[in-house]
Amino acid sequence: MRVLVLGGTTEARQLYAALEQRTDRFAVTVSLAGATRAPVLPRLDVRIGGFGGVDGLRAWLVAHHVEVVIDATHPFAVQMSNHAVAACTQAHVRLLRVQRPGWTPVVGDRWTRVPDMQAAADALGTTPRRVLLTVGRKDLLPFHHVGRHDWLLRCVDAPDPALLPAGTRLLLARGPFDEAGEEALLRRERIDVIVTKNSGGTATQAKLAAARRLGLGVIMVERPPVAPAETVTDATATMAWLESLSGLCGKPAHEKP
């Protein structure tokens, strides 16, 4: 069975490891957006870069005889997810989305939930605060004109300097992070508030527990709406779905549909 995995997340990497053991049944291509400069690559066929919109993705699926698409992109990669739904519908290809559950507040959390980055910037107000930004390196422009805050931006790769609010300090780091380390960081940097996306998962969840322990506020950008698709939450469920579908099709990996 020919499978395209739209990847890049923790769940996608877990899925790669499982698929590497099943090359007898699945001929897999992993597609990465190219947003991360040094991605962890699987031992599978890999392509890097966009497809050229819905039409380009549909053409690629048809040209490569793809039977199944697994959308394991980030919960905030809405454009890619929407393109996958449209292209798979047009090409009559099965689609499964792998989306980890979002975070939900618990007793002791001090969250302000907002719909987008502009609302997150507005929620900071104008009184100077020490802010830990963990929103990635692309969604920074709304924070340029929201007061004289002290910014600490943590991300995997350094952003374009033109995107940074004035005086931003960079902390380049890749999760997973643990609670003790996150609490130490928040104390050392004297952080007042965290701004983050509701990415879900465990790799970066520790900052929320640390903020709870320290009584810090969190401005939580909620996930944007996305086109509906059949969905599971982890790599184990994805493999079970694929194995079931493969059993119905009954074709080895090398055989075209």
- Domains in the chain (CATH in brackets) are 2-101+226-249 (3.40.50.720), 110-221 (3.40.50.720)
Give yes or no for residue 251 having a pLDDT over 70. Answer: no
pTM value is 0.90
What is the model's pLDDT at position 38?
A: 67
What count of other Cβ atoms lies within 10 Å of the Cβ of residue 19? 24
pLDDT digits (tens, 9 = 90+) for 96-128: 999 999 999 999 999 999 999 999 999 999 999
The region, left, alpha or beta by phi > 0 then psi within -120 to 50, assigned to residue 217 is: beta
Torsion angle of alpha carbons 56, 62, 64, 69, nearest 10°?
Answer: 80
Q: Kindly give the residue spans of alpha helices, DSSP state H, lying in 49-77.
A: 53-63
Give yes or no for residue 86 having a pLDDT over 80. Answer: yes
pLDDT digits (tens, 9 = 90+) for 67-82: 999 999 999 999 999 9
Q: Is the pLDDT higher at 32 or at 34? A: 32
What is the model's pLDDT at position 256?
A: 46
Side-chain-facing half-sphere of 195: CA atoms under 13 Å: 30
Q: Is the pLDDT higher at 61 or at 34? A: 61
Return the bridge partners of 97, or none: 71, 231
**231-232 and 217-221 as β-strands: parallel, antiparallel, unpaired?**
unpaired
Residue 169 host element (H or E): strand 169-172
User: pLDDT category, 249, cuts 50, 70, 90?
Assistant: low
